Amino acid sequence: MESLKLPKDTMLGAAIVTITGNREAFIENYKGILEYTTESIVLQGKNARICFEGSGLSIDYYTNEDMKISGKIDALRYI
């Protein structure tokens, strides 16, 4: 990867999580939605589960490649 100058996330299939403050998150390269409530959203990544915890959480949109979560995000855990 280093010698080819390819992005690690592309080569490894790793999820990319971008959080703006504590109100929204953009996730790329996730595999699926495992749990979805207003207090918890759990996504399956390639190597780990990604857990968002908070209040008033919602999935604004999702595609096969990315999604946007909004609400009050209190914690992000990889499990």
CATH for 58:
2.60.40.2000
Residue 14 has pLDDT above 90, yes or no: no
The whole-number pLDDT of residue 1 equals 47
Please give the residue range of the domain that contains residue 29: 8-78
* Domain assignment of residue 28, yes or no: yes
Residue 32, domain member (yes or no):
yes
More confident residue, 1 or 43: 43
Q: Which residues partner with 75 through β-bridges?
A: 53
- For the chain, how many structural domains are there in total? 1
Measured between alpha carbons, how far is 44 from 49 in angstroms, rounded to an integer? 5
What is the pTM for the complete model shown?
A: 0.84
Return all residues near 21 (Cβ < 8 A) that are at least 6 apart: none
